[in-house]
Structure 1
């Protein structure tokens, strides 16, 4: 008991020092405060007497401390953990099945939402009075966390359980939208809702939209509460938030990767490497048969002066927990290495243009059906960014659901 209270007071002291340090420094008076921090500061007493389930991943943090550890230390009665793709604490790579298990730090049960079961079952929710949902999204339709969110809302509504979303900024900004709205025939777990490839919304806003537009199934409307982030403005991209980046999945180690991923993800639907198995996935593109010439690179550089594009050779390697059996494992590839000088460009449009140039420069270049699920449209292989009308329509549809 003494150790428990010692940790409790230490945590409070650290949080107090962190808060006062910000005020004294005065360098970031508008620093974004994520919904998790707002919960702890303003709403913790509302969890008293409740059995709390957590739907979280490794980005559910205040500073460097996982939200689970914070809540347990503060005496919240956490009873169940739910793990999306990549796992509750981030121990799994892309597409790896998550198994039910036990959290090693706390001994709490972990229920997989990325295996045979993708939606919480009534049995999983038996010892839960309220669900807290906290994940850092990247602002992409094909990032599976928004689909997990929809399934959680459905399950919670059926079980008459409230869901609180501890909201976080959209790293790409709340004004940036690009790509086609998902066409129904391409619906999958990497695209379940009629939104663009880059949607410019937070998960809290998307949850409101899922319910309001009846994209999810329910008889009684889900009891949704969004704890908004503070000081975030829609014009902000991640570097302006003052927040530390915690990888939302193993292959997005920095915001630079996540921003470019919005477009270069399309290479996952081709036989050209998207860079898994290298130090810079989604910034490293190529194949053993790629021969891209300087003329093609000049076209891209002239259009996208914000991006450094360098010809390189690379050899993908299997990396446990990050890239198991990547494309062209152990084979020397030729292609490009990308780095971002300024985030003032359209990464989806860039991805489309790069795909067109790389396909033309690669012998036997092919696409797979997966590219249509990622793009959400059969238009993607025409290599034309014809989504202006889709974005105009979506901008109007989403208006009633915006929080910021």
Structure 2
């Protein structure tokens, strides 16, 4: 039976990426060696790293605009502390928008480096909306936001205009929609949503914002060191970078971010229409703040849960349960999820309605 993978991450990737990656595990570039055993300093892998970094900038429209793309280790959570280490001046001030669990975790790390101001938070509403009524102090060293909230299912649709460096955690919606990425000074994202397997983190930085903190930054945490070493300061996550390259190539061949955005909007529209129409279900977050990547919803009557769970699992659906901290259901519709899988879920929801109407 075909599986319909709604996992929030690690998540679904294109089938052709799995096929090419599996071949590389056996024999990479006809070298007689596996991608898992080649030297990261070998000519073949250096070419992979160079192409992956260049393709990131190309897809984001940032070529020739003073940005560097890095593939690093430690997950997006490592960037929670790398960001203030590299951008928060001694006796300076960082500003954050609190929109969910991961934003809160980033704020916690920043507080250990200096003054950290939360300009707005949706915590009191259980993170079911994106705050809009806030201002960013002009003397801040940077402003940090999280573009998409995987756990709660909200997404920032309009980013603030500010004169301070704009930093964004795009872990769960990078490469999913068209934005003017040049408005951002630093973007980071764990690979395991729209790029590749867990183990690598993409960081895109405008070089001119670095080197201004007067901090003594440990080399492993210093973006300038990683730029100087072209993402090779220490041994990179070779397989994760290679698989990310395959996914970026797949995306480019599909027509880039503009093309995938249309598919993502169609998937989200199909599922949200059913959530809103079906009398057995409730959407969790404010309609205008709904994520096109992670749709969260609940059953109005929990007595239907056992039946619904049995039905969607029987249909080959995987990974639909909500995050353990909030419950309910979460349909993660990342780039590689086909609309056919969304239709299967919608059909199950309609069948449930027939059973209990």
Pair in the same fold by TM > 0.5: no
TM-score by length of 2: 0.39
Higher relative contact order (CA 8 A, sep 6+): 2
Question: Per residue, is there more helix in 1 or in 2?
Answer: 2
